[in-house]
């Protein structure tokens, strides 16, 4: 015989909603988000070196930034524009965290065992003025959102899975968004400090060339890698 208490307990259990299982994050999205956060942090540090690529001179941060373009485009291709945009917005978190930590380390006094030349070199690389610190996040946010938007718009109504179409969309979106990135960053950081025309032209040309040469193949490679990663759940 079932007691009244047992019967009531069964009714309570039956009426309690069962929480839906938390959906698993695709392995590729998890891995790419980790890489993406690292690229947002290292891009600003690499930008302190100008590298020569044949006749082109370009700040080395472009290589990390192109990786951000490739990752955001790959995520848009596989998981949709909304997910890619969220990854771009979350990218501000490691960016802001790194800026705060750099500020803290610069504020703290150097050890007596650290030679003055090393202190000066450290400060030279990591001490940015406020205009440059403002220019980076503004250019980052606008250009990466624009990259995802153009990449998806060029997709049209099809699935956009053909290799040629994927490469063409990636190249066009990267070239346009990188041009906008250069225009914003150079204008905000250096307008009024010196003549920015030659710098704008040189940086845009270099970034467009790199976007056309590197990005299409990297996006294709990362899409293939993502499909391999997603064969097994996280």
Q: What CATH number should be reported for the domain holding residue 154?
A: 1.10.1760
Q: How far is CA 225 from the centre of its chain?
A: 18
Q: What is the SS3 assignment for 160? A: coil
- Cβ atoms of residues 92 and 144 within 8 Å: no
Residue 200 lies in a domain: yes
Whether 215 maps to a domain, the answer reads: yes
What are the structure tokens assigned to 151, written together?
């990449």
Kindly state whether residue 121 falls inside one of the protein's structural domains: no
Buried b (16+ CB within 10 A) or exposed e, 18-38: eeeeeeeebbbbebbbeebbe
Please tell me whether residue 51 adopts helix, strand or coil conformation.
strand
First to last CA, the chain: 47
pLDDT in 10s for each residue of the chain, 234 residues? 445 455 554 455 555 555 555 557 889 999 999 999 999 988 878 877 878 877 777 778 888 889 999 999 999 999 999 999 999 999 999 988 888 888 899 889 989 889 999 988 888 877 766 677 778 888 889 999 999 999 999 987 666 567 788 899 999 999 999 899 888 888 887 787 777 788 788 888 888 888 898 999 999 999 999 999 988 766
Whether 10 maps to a domain, the answer reads no
**83 lies in some domain:** yes
Domain residue limits at 91:
25-102+132-229
Count of domains observed in the chain? 1
SS3 (DSSP) at 50: strand
Distance CA(81)–CA(84), nearest Å, equals 5
Residue 154 maps to a domain: yes
Q: Is residue 19 part of a domain?
A: no
* 3-state SS class at 159: coil
Tell me the residue length of the chain. Answer: 234
Q: Contact 104/142 with Cβ under 8 angstroms?
A: no
pTM (predicted TM-score): 0.82
Residue 159 lies in a domain: yes
């Amino acid at each position: 015989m079932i007691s009244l208490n047992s019967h009531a307990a069964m009714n309570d259990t039956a009426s309690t909603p069962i929480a839906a299982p938390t959906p698993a994050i695709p392995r590729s999205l998890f891995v790419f988000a980790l890489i993406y956060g690292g690229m947002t942090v290292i891009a600003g540090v690499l930008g302190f070196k100008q590298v020569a690529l044949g006749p082109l001179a370009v700040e080395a941060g472009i290589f990390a930034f192109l990786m951000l373009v490739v990752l955001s485009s790959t995520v848009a291709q596989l998981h949709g524009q909304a997910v890619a945009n969220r990854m771009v917005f979350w990218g501000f978190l490691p960016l802001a965290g790194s800026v705060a930590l750099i500020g803290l380390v610069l504020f703290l006094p150097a050890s007596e065992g650290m030679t003055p030349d090393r202190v000066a070199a450290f400060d030279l690389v990591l001490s940015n003025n406020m205009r440059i610190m403002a220019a980076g996040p503004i250019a980052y946010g606008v250009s990466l959102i624009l990259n995802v938007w153009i990449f998806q718009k060029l997709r049209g109504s099809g699935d956009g899975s053909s290799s040629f179409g994927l490469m063409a969309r990636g190249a066009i979106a990267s070239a346009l968004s990188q041009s906008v990135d250069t225009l914003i960053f150079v204008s905000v950081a250096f307008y009024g400090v010196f003549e920015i025309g030659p710098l704008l032209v040189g940086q845009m040309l270099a970034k467009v060339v790199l976007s056309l040469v590197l990005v299409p193949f990297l996006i294709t490679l990362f899409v293939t890698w993502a499909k391999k990663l997603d064969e097994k759940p996280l």
